[in-house]
C-alpha cells in the first residue's frame, strides 16, 4: 500500500499550478495523479445512480404531505364555497384540488431535513479536481504546504494502491481523513 496525500481543488487551473509546484519540488511525474471527483450523491454506485438507496433528508416528508393535504383541502373547501355562487360546484372541486396540492407540497417540505451543504456534515467530500501524490519518497510536510499554498480546499491522507502513476482504488464515497482541518484551511469552504 502506498501512502497518499491528496488535495481537492475547485478549478483545474489551481490543480495544474499545484502539479507544477510539486514537480518543481522534485516530486516525480509518476507519483502525481489528477482526476475529477463528483459531488456527494453523484457517484453512481447504484444501478439507477446515486450513492444511497434512500435520501435520509427526505424522511418524514410523507407525514407532512398527508397533514398538509388535509389542511389544504379544508382551506380549499372554504375558498370553493365562497366562490361557488360565482362559478358553481366547480369552484368547490377546484378549491379542494388546489388546496390539497399546495398543502401537501408545503407540508412535505416543512418536515423534511435541511438539504444544505452543512447538513452533509464534515464527512462528505465535495466535488472538484483531486491532485493525489504518492509520498513514498517525499517530505509530507512539503507536499501538504504545496497543496495548501496552491489553493486546495481539502487535504487528506490515505493509503491505497498506486499503479502506473495513478491512485487506482480511490473511493469517493469513503469519508476523507483530513490532514488540514477545514477550520484551519483558509481555502475551505470557498
Query: Domains, the chain, ranges and CATH?
Result: 2-53+121-180 (3.30.70), 60-112 (no CATH)
Preceding amide of 60 cis, omega within 30: no
Residue 113: strand, helix, or coil: coil
- pLDDT tens, residue by residue, 115-131: 444 444 445 688 899 99
Predicted model pTM: 0.60
Letter string b/e over residues 59-85, b meaning 16 or more CB atoms within 10 A of that residue's CB: eebeebbebbbebbbebbeebbeeeee
- pLDDT tens, residue by residue, 47-81: 655 555 555 666 666 777 777 778 877 777 777 77
Mean pLDDT by 10 residues, the chain (190 residues): 94 96 94 89 58 60 74 77 76 78 74 50 75 90 94 93 94 84 57
Structure confidence at residue 51 (pLDDT): 58
Amino acid at each position: 500500500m502506498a501512502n497518499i496525500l491528496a488535495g481537492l481543488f475547485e478549478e483545474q487551473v489551481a490543480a495544474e499550478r499545484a502539479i507544477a509546484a510539486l514537480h518543481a519540488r522534485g516530486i516525480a511525474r509518476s507519483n502525481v495523479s489528477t482526476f475529477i471527483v463528483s459531488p456527494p450523491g453523484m457517484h453512481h454506485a447504484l444501478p439507477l445512480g446515486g450513492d444511497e438507496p434512500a435520501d435520509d433528508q427526505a424522511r418524514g416528508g410523507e407525514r407532512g404531505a398527508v397533514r398538509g393535504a388535509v389542511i389544504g383541502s379544508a382551506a380549499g373547501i372554504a375558498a370553493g364555497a365562497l366562490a361557488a355562487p360565482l362559478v358553481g360546484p366547480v369552484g368547490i372541486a377546484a378549491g379542494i384540488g388546489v388546496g390539497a396540492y399546495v398543502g401537501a407540497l408545503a407540508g412535505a417540505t416543512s418536515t423534511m431535513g435541511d438539504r444544505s451543504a452543512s447538513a452533509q456534515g464534515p464527512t462528505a467530500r465535495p466535488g472538484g479536481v483531486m491532485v493525489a501524490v504518492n509520498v513514498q519518497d517525499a517530505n509530507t510536510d512539503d507536499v501538504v504546504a504545496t497543496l495548501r499554498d496552491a489553493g486546495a480546499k481539502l487535504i487528506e491522507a490515505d493509503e491505497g494502491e498506486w499503479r502506473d502513476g495513478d491512485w487506482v482504488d480511490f473511493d469517493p464515497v469513503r469519508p476523507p481523513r483530513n490532514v488540514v482541518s477545514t477550520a484551519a484551511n483558509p481555502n475551505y469552504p470557498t
